[in-house]
């Protein structure tokens, strides 16, 4: 048996193993960041172990910068070498010698497909041997099986077997089952299209490598984009005329689509999903579920949108300023207004107030002007204020742009009930809405 | 969209609008930052603002507690002398205390504010709060409606909205005509709706309304801070807080004209607040604290009993006859104690100390009244007051009427026994610990402020790292750094403003280190008690300053490691040498001891073992006990910051003329050569030459004892002091120096009485170190952790003084270090306590078995007899303690690892496979000297036979040519000589008063030496210091007045592997350095 160990720089999902199906059907992923490939029967397809190792190394470094790899007889030795002697290709039957001059602490990586059951036990074993003056693996290799077994039982036995290359671990063929998705969270939200496209391309590359390994094609790609400030999600569907594995084609379609859409603000999260198919397109299932009410609603909205009508549902927002306190959403979503919260701890409780939660119950005009309309002194004089003192005083945003308004009910000369505010910062009156 | 337009036009009651000056108002729902994240003003600010606005009064009703009421009360009753302007209306202003309780009912949670009408009502309120808080975490309440209704008597209730009729009816049944509905107008629709609802309840159901402002801040400018607190409460940012924030800044204390305008429809509701206030007869000053009556023999009064005990004590203290002056002083003190009725306090202290004495727990009193003849006679302190001229009235003053303050230090390892005794004797109902209010400091304030502004965590860390120990000041002075952290100037300014505002706000309660409140009546009638973070500990809601304001007496039961060490030393001397020594009977003014002190040979000695103290000793050259009192007090931030140290030394040695800035200062400063060193002297200076009134002087004392200084208060104090001194013709420079001393004292300074108590321990520890170094070192090692030095340094110091040590041995060593006599010499046998991670119970079990059944014959015998866990055996083996069984450490470890330790196994205490150990052919590597040293350092932190630098010394020259100097050679080298040394880093100090200088204590095989690092050298080599212990130092030798320092020029880590390789070329691996 000959094993290639790919040591990825950070934790990856099990789906990563599918990328390396190109090198052998026998691939194994071990949580959180190792992939083992049995190359004994496939190396010749790449012109020998050297050729396969070069290609694997290139691929892993392209997709996962900082990754390392090594080839040895057993998965355990390959893992240790990938960690401590990266990119070493050990000749058959020579791994014991290769391990010999490694420090004792290398023992912690001598795992392969099966991780140490109790890492602390191995760590304490290493500490113990250090305290006895043993510093190298070859010194530990001199300790007899019975001495190790006597002191550490099964773990001692496994250590001895792995040190002497006698722990055979079989890599089984991998059956792909993982969904073809990539998720990205941007620590610093992305607002430039080229940067977004760059990230998208990297993700697509990884997904298409998996497609290649699985021997499948992409019917369509779905991009989910999450905007940072507006908290909105965009769904972009890319569907070429026929299933394809051409990354350039997909990138072009994505670029065109993104250029059409106004994303409003930076992207915080992105996920890409590939809908795959084998070379033959699947037929629709006759027994697929009937259309739901939600589907009907979606269809209706689609029709309206097709006709360029502004449609949507008013959804109250927990905001202090009236113009921010509702939004139109394409879908009907339940209200999620902030309320007082109560933390319970046994018999005791703590109330965390939402001081302005009742703003959502405050009277608001049936027609709120999109932009408050400044009132000239002449026009103001014609208005009759119903209350001398403001009905509401709203202040907000002192940490950014201060806003302070006193709201009044007023009647126009025609008897129309108006909503007027006095901007306390600009010292200017505005008309903000009409009541029915 | 809602169209519920309804114009609120309440029926006008009074046609004639009142003028603002006719309006009288009492704010009944005052709230401060002691509502923890629910209020944005300090209690003092709230009441002061109410006073300045001309209110008739204010009730401070914080959430679920009375935490801030005493501070507010103090601000009203005893306003600071140093704050301007003084408020003139204070005479008519009344302060009320109360609490807003969150209550659980079937219909949900609601709030009700409770105001006590009289002292019974106050007691009930305290009990209710205690009930609500007993098992609840910080900021939580567990009160139910039925509990509230049960304890309703003598309390006024203000039921806060939202109201439900059924709940209100329940409350009315309990509170009857003491129930009110508070209404407010804050320009929110909600308040209008609630007002309408209240009017309905008034007209239809007959409830009584009262106007309030429901203030969460004293001034509208605090709205931003209130929003920040709300964000912290919800764990959110300002951007995301949305409607969690107040919709405007109206919830503050408003001027009366504004209130008149706001309530012009219903001015009667404002007047109602005054009528409610008139129903309240309770004032915090009424709290008559009663000290628990001590156990007094029948037929005797407390006065008589105290007198008897004092007389008995004096006969014991002065067996050759009580000096007349002492008798007179005692009589005088007893007279004052009687007049102030403090007998029970002294008797209680006596009782506690008697318990400690009975249990052989060493203790010593200190504090304002501790160094009196009565305390000396009662055995509370061992400082003979005739030797230190301290005036009793200075500390217990009839005029000030303050309670006496006596702190008692007990052996820190046995303090818990004393605490348990107090609980047992007085009961948990009558004794509780005093709290300390933990406030936001710069670092936390900045962290929270940054979180609230949504600044990324990595940036916050970078800012805090830059800020270091200098606080916000460093950031304010470096606004340009904002760009580096990717912060806009406005954002940075906001961050500074918020953090500065937040700094000093209370965050939570902690337990005072040892303050106890003991009362005759249940404590919960006097102050609410709540659960502390420490398990099974309860604290009162007030801190020590609050108790002082209310003239309540607390007892401080503190822990002091040196007392334990001295006690152990006395026991060793008695057990091994047959010497009966105690604190009060040590030979006084021993010349040899003072000679040792003058040489700064004081490693391990109480208070004078630090680098700063040691560098002063050869200059000060103490020859009397009073010199030690000065020595203890002078190396403190107060005198250092005031620049008093060098003048004192020069004047003491006659190198500078003793002068006084004013003739009146002579009597105050004569004993310290015209240099103020003690806290009392500062107070006397202020009174004498700055014209401070007794009240001002007392406030000055409080400021000096407090660690929280308000900038405006300090500015006022400075101005007052400078003005006063200038008027007395004292130069500005001297006045400024005195002010700087006060600032230093406010951080930390000693009163003379305190210094005298500590100096006694300094003398005792010096005497023992000088005459019984083996017993003293042994007791220090048995009292670890304590003091300045690690066991390694203490052992090395003792070895340099000729003390010999015997190694750890399972067959001989006890848990503690002990003395053994060999050939007429006393040697120290290392105790098993030295081994890291060894559990005391296992050791004691093993030692008990050894005492009963004799020495262990083999490892198997040890395992079979003691059934010790493997870890314990391995630790014993690694420490070399099994050599007594014929096992070298590595051999012992190898064998222990193979043993079957399950007691039910047939193979118990034998090897699992190699029943015959001869069959185990494993050859273990020979342990090198360096490896052995590392093992010893890892196992117990020291080596009795070798020092790492001593091992490296032979090849240092081969590694780097040139002279390598040893610590012991320093005295033979001329000052200014450039030296290269190798050493083991023992300690790093960067005192805040040292202006960026750092000081290293470094040791080699011949001794300890001090290294001084200038700020730039420290900055350059700080990573070497942080990550390496074995270091090479190049620097110049400095010698002045017998003090030797090495002023470092460069530092570098010693490449141990490389150096060792030069000793043993076969050893190629790089060893670890000892940790």
The residues, any chain, with a CB within 8 Å of residue B153's CB and separated by 6 or more, are B120, B121, B124
Going from the C-alpha of B248 to that of each of A356, A387, B6, B10, B330, the distances in angstroms are 9, 19, 22, 23, 64
Q: Find the mean pLDDT for residues B736-746.
A: 74
User: What average pLDDT score do residues B368-397 get?
Assistant: 71
B247 to A355: CB separation less than 8 angstroms, yes or no: yes
Q: Which helix (H) or strand (E) holds B755?
A: helix B752-771
Encoded tokens for A362: 């405050």
Check: CB of residue B689 under 8 Å from CB of residue B728: yes
CA distance B860 to B832: 20
Judgement on whether residues A154 and A193 belong to the same structural domain of the protein: no
Distance from the B12 Cα atom to the nearest Cα atom in chain A, whole angstroms: 14
Task: Write the DSSP string, A334-374.
Answer: -------EEEEETTEEEEE--TTGGGGGS---SEEEEEEEE
Contact: B189, A346; criterion CB under 8 Å? no
> In this structure, what token pair is assigned to residue B382?
């061992």
The DSSP 8-state label assigned to residue B403 in this structure reads P
Residue A342 is nearest to which of B109, B261, B931, comparing CB atoms?
B109
Q: What is the C-alpha separation between B350 and B356, in angstroms, rounded? A: 10
A293 and A395 together in one domain = no
Q: Does one domain contain both A185 and A224?
A: yes
Does domain B947-1063 correspond to CATH entry 2.40.110.10? no
Q: What are phi and psi of A423, to 5 degrees?
A: -75, 110
- Outline where DSSP puts E strands in B487-642: 506-518, 529-531, 538-540, 554-560
- Which of B394, B348, B350 has the alpha carbon at shortest distance from B371? B394
The predicted pLDDT at position B562 comes to 92
Taking an 8 Å cut-off on Cβ atoms, the answer to whether A395 and B2 are in contact is no
Same domain, A159 and A50: yes
| Nearest residue, CB atoms, A128 vs list B189, B247, B897 | B897
Tell me the CA distances in angstroms from B544 to B540, B547, B702, one per residue in order.
10, 5, 11
Q: What is the pLDDT of residue B548?
A: 83
Antiparallel, parallel or unpaired: β B998-1004 and A417-423: unpaired
Kindly report the CATH number assigned to the domain that includes residue A186. Answer: 3.30.1490.100
Q: Is the confidence at residue B905, as pLDDT, over 60?
A: yes
Query: What are the phi and psi torsion angles at B225 (to 5°)?
Result: -65, -35
Please tell me whether residues A14 and A131 are part of one structural domain.
yes
Question: What count of residues does chain B have?
Answer: 1075
Angle between helices A193-214 and A247-260 (to 10 degrees): 150
Mean pLDDT check: name the lowest of B81-90, B219-228, B540-549, B807-816.
B81-90
Among the partner residues B193, B223, B244, nearest to A354 by beta-carbon distance: B244
Do A144 and A36 belong together in one domain?
yes
pLDDT above 90: residue B1047: yes
Which pLDDT tens digit goes with each residue over B297-337? 778 888 999 999 999 999 988 888 888 888 988 898 898 88
B967-1017, pLDDT tens digit by residue?
999 989 999 999 999 999 988 888 776 778 899 999 999 888 999 999 999
User: Residue B24: pLDDT above 60?
Assistant: yes
A9/chain B closest Cα distance in angstroms:
22
The reply to whether residue B243 touches residue A352, judged by beta carbons under 8 angstroms, is: no
* Mean pLDDT value across residues B102-114: 91
Contact (CB, 8 A) for B799 and B828? no
Residues of A in contact with B141 (CB under 8 A): 348-350
- Write out the two tokens for B1027: 């990550």
Which tokens go with B937? 């350092």
What's residue B707's pLDDT? Answer: 58
CB contact under 8 Å between B5 and A350, yes or no, is no
At the fourth CATH level, the homologous superfamily of domain B21-285 is: Metal-dependent hydrolases (3.20.20.140)
Of B252, B255, B151, B267, which is closest to residue B209 (Cα–Cα)? B267
Region B854-874: mean pLDDT is: 92
Tokens 């005295």 belong to B971
| Residues A340, A352 contacting (CB under 8 angstroms) | yes
- Is residue B1065 pLDDT above 70, yes or no? no
The residue assigned the tokens 């190699």 is B914
The number of residues making up chain A comes to 436
Arithmetic mean of pLDDT, B240-267: 93
Q: Which residues contact B311 (CB under 8 A, 6 or more apart)?
A: B377
In terms of Cα–Cα distance, which of B151, B154, B149, B150 is closest to B120? B154
| Distance (Å, whole) CA B272 – CA B278 | 10
Query: Burial code of B886-902, b = ≥16 C-beta within 10 A, e = fewer?
Result: ebbbbbbbbbbbbbbbe
Structure tokens at B213: 């402002």
Same domain, A226 and A323: no
Residues paired with A89 in a beta bridge: A71
Nearest to residue B542, comparing CAs of B438, B434, B639?
B434
DSSP state of B497: H
- Per DSSP, the three-state class of A154 is helix
Q: How far apart, in whole angstroms, are the C-alpha atoms of residue B698 and residue B80?
A: 11
Tell whether A217 and A327 lie within a shared domain. no
Q: Which CATH architecture has domain B789-915+928-938?
A: Orthogonal Bundle (1.10)
Q: Is the Cβ pair B890, A343 closer than 8 Å?
A: no
pLDDT of B747? 55
Q: What is the pLDDT of residue B739?
A: 80
Q: Which residues of A touch B259 (CB under 8 A)?
A: none
Distance CA B1075, CA B1055 (A): 15
Each residue's pLDDT tens digit in chain A (436 positions)? 899 999 999 999 899 999 999 899 999 999 999 999 999 999 999 999 999 999 999 999 988 999 999 999 999 999 999 999 999 999 998 998 999 999 999 999 999 999 998 889 999 899 999 989 898 999 999 998 888 998 898 999 999 999 998 888 899 999 888 899 999 888 888 878 888 899 999 899 989 999 988 888 888 999 999 888 777 888 888 887 777 788 888 888 888 788 777 776 788 899 999 999 875 444 444 454 555 666 566 556 655 554 555 667 778 889 999 988 888 776 677 777 899 988 888 888 888 999 999 898 888 898 888 889 999 999 999 999 998 889 999 999 999 889 999 999 999 988 999 999 999 999 999 999 998 7
Closest residue by Cα to residue B955 from B797, B1063, B825: B1063
Q: Domain segments of chain B: what residues?
A: 21-285, 302-433+515-561, 441-503, 583-767, 789-915+928-938, 947-1063
What residues of chain A, 124 to 143, have a C-beta less than 8 Å from chain B? 128, 131-135, 139, 143
* A170 in any annotated domain: no
Domains B21-285 and B947-1063 share a fold: no
Domain end residue (candidates: A108, A131, A163): A163
ipTM: 0.74
Domain assignment present for A132: yes
Decide if A358 is inside a domain. no
- Chain A residue at shortest CA distance from B110: A351
From the list A341, A355, A389, the residue facing B245 with the nearest CB is: A355
Comparing CB atoms, the residue among B104, B243, B927 nearest residue A319 is: B243
pLDDT at position B639 over 80: no
Is there a contact between B79 and B555 (Cβ–Cβ < 8 Å)? no
Residues A273 and A294 in one domain: no
- Banded pLDDT at B1067 (limits 50, 70, 90): very low
The answer to whether the beta carbons of residues B1011 and B1048 sit under 8 Å apart is yes
Token pair of A380 as six digits: 């103001």
**A330-356 confidence digits (pLDDT tens):** 667 777 789 998 888 888 888 899 999
User: What is the CATH T-level fold of the domain B302-433+515-561, as seen in this structure?
Assistant: glyoxalase-related enzyme like fold (3.30.1900)
Highest average pLDDT, of B394-398, B447-451, B483-487, comes from B447-451
**Residue numbers of A between 407 and 426 with CB closer than 8 Å to B:** 409, 417
Asked if residue A357 belongs to a domain, the reply is no
The DSSP-derived string for B918-938 is: GG--PPPPPPPHHHHHHHHHH
What's the confidence (pLDDT) of residue B2?
Answer: 36
Better-predicted residue by pLDDT, B208 or B960: B208
Q: Which two tokens stand for residue B999?
A: 């000081």
pLDDT at site B945: 87
Q: Which among B67, B75, B60 has a CA at the least distance from the CA of B34?
A: B67
Mean residue pLDDT of chain B comes to: 86
User: How confident is the model over B203-210, as a mean pLDDT?
Assistant: 95
Nearest residue on chain B to A367, alpha-carbon basis: B1
Which of A147, A319, A389 is facing B920, going by the closest CB pair? Answer: A147
Q: A139 with A28, same domain?
A: yes
Give the CA distances from residue B856 to residues B137, B304, B718, B852, B904, in Å, rounded to whole numbers and listed in that order.
Answer: 52, 61, 72, 11, 22
Number of domains in chain A: 4
Mutate to test the interface with B, among A131, A396, A398 (most CBs of B within 10 A): A131
- Identify which of B987, B992, B993, B997 has the alpha carbon closest to the alpha carbon of residue B1018: B997
Question: Is the domain of A326 the same as that of A426?
Answer: no
Which residues on A lie below 8 Å from B1064 (Cβ)? Answer: none
State yes or no: cis peptide before A429, omega within 30 of 0. Answer: no
Q: Which of A256, A277, A298 is the last residue of a domain?
A: A277
Position B380 scores a pLDDT of: 86
**Which residue's structure tokens are 């050297």?**
A50
The span from the CA of A173 to the CA of A36, in Å, is 11
* B94-108, B572-586, B646-660, B748-762: segment of lowest average pLDDT: B748-762
The answer to whether the beta carbons of residues A338 and B244 sit under 8 Å apart is yes
In a domain, A169, yes or no: no
The model's pLDDT over B680-724, given as tens digits with 9 standing for 90+, comes to 788 888 888 888 887 787 778 777 766 555 667 778 888 888 888
Distance from CA of A205 to the nearest CA of B (A): 31
Does pLDDT of B102 surpass 70?
A: yes
CATH number, domain with residue A101:
3.30.70
pLDDT at B85: 55
Residues A142 and A209 in one domain: no
Show the domain range for A9.
3-163
Which two three-digit tokens encode residue A144?
Answer: 């007899």
Which of chain A's residues have a Cβ under 8 Å away from the Cβ of B195? none
Examine the pLDDT at B1070 and tell me if it is beyond 50.
no
Burial of B286 (0-12, 13-18, 19+ CB in 10 A): exposed
CA atoms of B750 and B758, how far apart (whole Å):
10
- The number of C-alpha atoms within 13 Å of B330 and in the hemisphere containing its C-beta is 25
Whether residue A168 is contained in a domain is answered as no
């Amino acid at each position: 048996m000959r094993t290639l160990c790919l040591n990825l720089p950070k934790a990856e999902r099990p789906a990563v193993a599918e990328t390396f199906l190109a090198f052998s059907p026998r691939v194994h992923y071990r949580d959180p960041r190792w992939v083992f490939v049995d190359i004994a029967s496939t190396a010749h397809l790449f012109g020998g172990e050297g050729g396969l190792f070069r290609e694997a190394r290139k691929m892993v470094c392209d997709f996962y910068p900082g990754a390392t790899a090594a080839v040895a007889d057993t998965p355990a030795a390959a893992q240790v070498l990938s960690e401590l002697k990266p990119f070493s290709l050990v000749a058959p039957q020579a791994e014991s010698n290769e391990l010999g001059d490694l420090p004792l602490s290398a023992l912690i990586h001598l795992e392969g497909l099966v991780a140490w059951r109790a890492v602390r036990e191995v760590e304490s074993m290493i500490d113990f041997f250090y305290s006895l003056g043993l510093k190298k693996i070859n010194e530990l290799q001199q300790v007899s099986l019975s001495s190790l077994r006597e002191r550490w039982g099964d773990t001692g036995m496994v250590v001895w077997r792995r040190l002497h290359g006698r722990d055979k671990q079989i890599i089984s063929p991998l059956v792909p089952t993982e969904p073809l998705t990539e998720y990205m969270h941007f620590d610093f939200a992305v607002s430039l299209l080229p940067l977004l496209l760059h990230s998208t391309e990297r993700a697509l590359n990884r997904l298409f490598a998996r497609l290649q390994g699985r021997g499948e094609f992409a019917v369509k790609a779905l991009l989910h984009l999450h905007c940072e400030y507006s908290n909105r999600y965009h769904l972009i569907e890319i569907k070429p005329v026929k299933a394809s594995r051409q990354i350039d084609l997909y990138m072009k379609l994505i670029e065109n689509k993104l250029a059409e859409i106004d994303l409003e603000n930076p992207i915080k999260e992105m996920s890409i999903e590939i809908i795959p198919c084998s070379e033959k397109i699947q037929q629709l299932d006759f027994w697929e579920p009937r259309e739901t009410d939600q589907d009907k609603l979606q269809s209706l909205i689609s029709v309206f949108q097709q006709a360029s009508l502004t449609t949507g549902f008013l959804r109250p927002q927990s905001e202090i300023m009236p113009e921010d306190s509702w939004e139109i959403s394409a879908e009907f979503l339940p209200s999620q207004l902030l309320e007082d919260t109560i933390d319970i701890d046994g018999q005791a409780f703590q109330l965390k107030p939402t001081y302005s939660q009742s703003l959502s119950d405050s009277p608001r005009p049936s027609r709120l002007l999109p932009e408050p309309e400044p009132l000239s002194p002449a026009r103001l004089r014609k208005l009759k204020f119903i209350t001398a003192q403001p009905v509401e005083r709203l202040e907000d945003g002192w940490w950014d742009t201060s806003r302070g308004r006193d709201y009044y009910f007023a009647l126009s000369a025609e008897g129309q009930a108006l909503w007027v505010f006095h901007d306390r910062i600009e010292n200017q009156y505005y008309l903000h809405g009409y009541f029915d | 969209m809602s169209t519920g337009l309804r114009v609120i036009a309440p029926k006008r009651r009074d046609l004639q609008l009142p003028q603002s000056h006719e309006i009288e108002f009492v704010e009944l729902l005052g709230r401060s930052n002691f509502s923890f994240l629910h209020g944005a003003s300090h209690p003092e600010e709230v009441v002061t603002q109410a006073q300045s606005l001309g209110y008739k009064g204010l009730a401070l009703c914080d959430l679920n507690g009375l935490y801030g009421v005493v501070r507010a009360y103090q601000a009203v009753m005893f306003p600071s002398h140093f704050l301007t302007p003084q408020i003139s209306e204070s005479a008519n202003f009344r302060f009320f205390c109360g609490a807003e309780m969150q209550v659980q009912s079937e219909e949900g949670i609601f709030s009700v504010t409770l105001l006590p009408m009289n002292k019974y009502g106050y007691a009930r309120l305290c009990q209710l709060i205690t009930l609500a808080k007993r098992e609840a975490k910080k900021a939580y309440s567990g009160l139910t409606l039925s509990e509230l209704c049960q304890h309703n008597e003598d309390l006024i209730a203000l039921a806060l909205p939202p109201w439900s009729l059924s709940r209100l009816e329940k409350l009315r049944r309990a509170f009857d005509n003491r129930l009110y509905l508070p209404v407010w107008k804050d320009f929110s629709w909600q308040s209008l709706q609630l007002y309408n609802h209240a009017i309905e309840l008034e007209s239809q159901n007959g409830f009584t309304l009262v106007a309030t402002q429901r203030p969460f801040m004293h001034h509208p400018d605090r709205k931003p801070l209130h929003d920040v607190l709300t964000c912290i409460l919800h764990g959110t940012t300002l951007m995301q807080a949305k409607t969690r924030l107040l919709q405007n800044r109206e919830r503050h204390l408003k001027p009366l004209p504004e209130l008149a305008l706001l309530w012009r429809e219903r001015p009667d509701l404002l007047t109602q607040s005054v009528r409610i206030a008139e129903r309240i007869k309770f004032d915090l000053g009424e709290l008559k604290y009663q000290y628990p009556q001590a156990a007094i023999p029948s037929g005797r009064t407390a006065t008589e009993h105290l007198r008897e005990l004092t007389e008995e004590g004096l006969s014991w203290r002065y067996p050759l006859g009580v000096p007349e002056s002492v008798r007179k002083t005692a009589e005088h003190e007893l007279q004052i104690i009687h007049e102030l009725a403090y007998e029970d306090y002294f008797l209680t202290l006596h009782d506690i100390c008697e318990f400690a004495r009975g249990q052989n727990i060493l203790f010593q009193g200190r504090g304002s009244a501790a160094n009196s003849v009565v305390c000396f006679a009662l055995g509370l302190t061992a400082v003979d007051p005739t030797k230190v001229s301290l005036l009793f009235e200075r500390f217990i003053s009839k005029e000030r009427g303050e309670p006496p303050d006596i702190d008692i230090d007990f052996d820190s390892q046995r303090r818990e026994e004393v605490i348990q005794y107090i609980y047992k004797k007085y009961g948990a109902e009558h004794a509780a610990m005093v709290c300390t209010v933990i406030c936001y400091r710069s670092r936390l304030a900045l962290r929270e402020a940054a979180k609230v502004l949504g600044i990324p965590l990595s940036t916050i860390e970078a800012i805090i790292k830059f800020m270091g120990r200098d606080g916000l000041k460093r950031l304010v002075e470096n606004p340009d750094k904002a760009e580096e952290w990717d912060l806009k100037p406005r954002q940075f300014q906001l961050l500074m403003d918020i953090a500065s505002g937040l700094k000093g706000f209370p965050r939570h309660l902690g337990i005072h280190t040892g303050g106890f409140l003991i009362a005759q009546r249940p404590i919960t009638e006097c102050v609410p008690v709540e659960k502390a973070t420490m398990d099974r500990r309860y604290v009162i809601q007030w801190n020590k300053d609050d108790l002082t304001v209310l003239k309540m007496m607390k007892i401080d039961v503190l822990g002091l490691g040196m007392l334990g060490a001295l006690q152990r030393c006395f026991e060793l001397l008695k057990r091994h040498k047959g010497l009966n020594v105690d604190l009060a009977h040590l030979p006084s003014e021993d010349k040899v001891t003072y000679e040792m002190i003058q040489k700064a040979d004081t490693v391990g000695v109480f208070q004078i073992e630090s680098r700063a103290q040691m560098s002063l000793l050869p200059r000060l050259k103490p020859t009397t006990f009073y010199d030690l009192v000065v020595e203890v007090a002078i190396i403190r931030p107060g005198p250092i910051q005031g620049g008093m140290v060098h003048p004192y030394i020069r004047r003491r040695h006659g190198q500078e003329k003793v002068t006084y800035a004013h003739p009146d200062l002579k009597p105050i400063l004569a004993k310290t050569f015209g240099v103020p060193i003690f806290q009392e002297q500062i107070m006397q200076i202020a009174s004498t030459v700055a014209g401070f009134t007794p009240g001002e002087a007392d406030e000055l004392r409080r400021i000096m004892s407090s660690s929280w200084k308000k900038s405006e208060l300090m500015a006022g104090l400075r101005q007052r002091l400078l003005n006063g001194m200038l008027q007395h013709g004292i130069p500005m420079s001297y006045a400024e120096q005195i002010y700087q001393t006060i600032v230093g004292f406010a951080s930390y300074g000693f009163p003379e009485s305190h210094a005298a108590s500590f100096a006694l321990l300094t003398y005792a520890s010096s005497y023992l170190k000088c005459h019984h170094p083996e017993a003293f070192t042994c007791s220090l090692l048995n009292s670890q952790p304590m003091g300045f030095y690690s066991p390694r340094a203490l052992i090395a110091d003792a070895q340099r003084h000729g003390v010999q040590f015997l190694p750890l041995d399972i067959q001989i060593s006890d848990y503690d270090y002990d003395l053994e006599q060999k050939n007429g010499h006393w040697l120290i046998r290392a105790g098993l306590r030295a081994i890291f991670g060894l559990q005391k119970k296992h050791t004691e079990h093993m030692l008990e078995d050894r005492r009963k059944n004799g020495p262990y014959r083999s490892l198997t015998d040890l395992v079979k007899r003691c059934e010790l866990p493997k870890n314990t055996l391995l630790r014993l083996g690694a420490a070399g303690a099994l050599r007594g069984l014929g096992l070298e450490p590595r051999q012992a470890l190898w064998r222990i690892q193979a043993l079957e330790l399950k007691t039910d196994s047939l193979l118990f205490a034998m090897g699992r496979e190699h029943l015959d150990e001869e069959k185990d052919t494993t050859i273990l590597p020979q342990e090198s000297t360096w490896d052995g040293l590392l093992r010893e350092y890892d196992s117990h932190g020291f080596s009795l036979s070798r020092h790492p630098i001593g091992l490296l010394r032979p090849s240092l020259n081969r590694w780097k040519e040139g002279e390598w100097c040893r610590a012991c050679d320093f005295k033979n080298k001329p000052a200014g000589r450039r030296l290269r040394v190798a050493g083991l880093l023992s300690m790093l100090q960067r005192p805040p008063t040292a202006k960026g200088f750092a000081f290293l204590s470094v040791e080699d095989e011949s001794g300890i030496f001090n290294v001084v690092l200038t700020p730039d050298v420290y900055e350059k080599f700080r990573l070497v210091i942080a990550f390496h212990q074995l270091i090479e130092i190049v620097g110049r030798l400095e010698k002045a007045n017998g003090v030797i320092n090495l002023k470092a020029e460069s530092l570098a880590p010693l490449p141990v592997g490389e150096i060792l390789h030069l000793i043993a070329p076969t050893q190629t691996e790089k060893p670890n350095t000892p940790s």
